[in-house]
Structure 1
């Protein structure tokens, strides 16, 4: 089996495990699934996709497995902001979970642990942000709505001092008065 074929097989195993039909912990911790020359590198792609564009993280969120979501988020190079074929990020899917406790746990992991702040601003193909979906799926869940809302940024966080134009000629006039 070539390296490319082995990687494809391992990617399929990872996607299956993320759905809850396999051992995600084994794939993420067993040295057998790591590059022998670099233990930090997996032999699979942690951001691989299924035919619908879902990554292992999308699938773990959809299967409502807090443990699997946590394990995948701990993997190096896991991208929390990837959009599937419908434009949904894992956060879009998480806010739609019916069980309020699981929904809150997964949204909290995505935002507070994985810092999926970019996902709060991304729109899916239905032109909806995660916050828009909260209004539909969990309008009473204030904590999830807060977490799924884009963070408020202060003006000094958005601007660099070099972005502000100063007219030094006004300073000269003030000093002479």
Structure 2
């Protein structure tokens, strides 16, 4: 049974890692789901509560990275608080229009927020691009966190 659980977990891991790059799938939650499924197949023999609390915290961190990376990109490129909020709202609204909305939502939100705040379109465009840079940087950080989650899983079971 543990082999079946491991195969299913690996499928979830691959889908989760793909979801980090192709934002139509929820990356980190799929990784955690794969770990839980493996645990169910093995009676949680090698995965304890501390392991799952740590993994859940890493999942929460990946969600925080989405917001923080975009906010950092906006702020780094001279964006106002309104642009940062616009990027965050754009991320939330864009999630309903995945996959393109997850990329374009923060850009549009930061651009529009900065346009309202500064009324300078060139500057607003630069701030919007900053949100994209933050998004892609955040994607790399999330990917690193998720690879760490998978490594921790395999270290725990072997």
Say yes or no: TM over 0.5. no
Higher RCO by CA contacts (8 Å cutoff, separation 6 or greater): 2
Give the helix-richer structure, 1 or 2.
Answer: 2
TM-score by length of 2: 0.24
Q: Bigger radius of gyration, 1 or 2?
A: 1
TM-score by length of 1: 0.23
